[in-house]
């Protein structure tokens, strides 16, 4: 892609952020430039955000019904899934899935709760609760 072909108009989904892309300059050499994203990329990103929001809403209902732990809700709110949460915490996926069950989540040690809270960017108190809405 040539430098002059880069999209110029940013979409609000990027919240003012841009990303680095490689383009061909006037001399025919590759260089890095910043781009706000492309329309097809924005559509795909919007769909992904909608999907994860639906997962978070469903998780919220399961937590309220006592079928899941608040960890599942907070995981989806932070745009994560089980494999990603397992990777950043260093836990095996089966262990993270186990912690999504209320009875196992209730038995977590403070150190484990602190790790989850740190990774999810919340306090341990917030991690143990869900919104009242």
**pLDDT tens digits, one per residue of 66-112:** 999 999 999 999 999 999 999 999 999 999 999 999 999 999 999 99
Q: Which CATH number fits the domain that encloses residue 96? A: 1.10.260
Residue 45, in any domain of the structure:
no
The CA-atom distances, in angstroms, between 93 and each of 7, 60, 79, 83, 89 are 39, 21, 17, 6, 10
Which tokens hold the place of 103? 């009875």
Q: Where are the alpha helices (DSSP H) in 2-133?
A: 39-64, 70-77, 82-89, 93-99, 102-105, 110-120, 124-127
55 and 120 housed in the same domain: yes
Q: Answer whether residue 32 shows pLDDT above 90.
A: no
Please tell me which residue, 25 or 80, carries the higher pLDDT value: 80
- Number of domains composing the chain: 2
- Of the ranges 21-25, 89-93, 98-102, 114-118, which one carries the lowest mean pLDDT score? 21-25
**First and final C-alpha spacing in the chain:** 47
Span 1-16, mean pLDDT? 69
Check residue 9 and give its pLDDT: 65
62 and 106 housed in the same domain: yes
**pLDDT tens digits, one per residue of 54-63:** 999 999 999 9
């Amino acid at each position: 892609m040539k430098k002059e072909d880069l999209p110029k108009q940013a979409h609000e989904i990027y919240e003012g952020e841009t990303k680095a892309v490689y383009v061909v300059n006037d001399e025919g050499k590759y260089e890095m430039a910043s781009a706000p994203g492309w329309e097809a990329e924005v559509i795909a990103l919007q769909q992904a955000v909608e999907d994860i929001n639906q997962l978070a809403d469903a998780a919220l209902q399961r937590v309220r019904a006592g079928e899941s732990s608040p960890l599942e809700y907070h995981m989806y709110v932070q745009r994560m899934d089980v494999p990603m949460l397992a990777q950043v915490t260093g836990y095996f996926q089966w262990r993270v899935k186990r912690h999504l069950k209320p009875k196992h989540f209730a038995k977590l040690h403070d150190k484990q709760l602190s790790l989850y809270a740190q990774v999810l960017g919340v306090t341990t108190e917030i991690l143990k609760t869900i919104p009242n809405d």
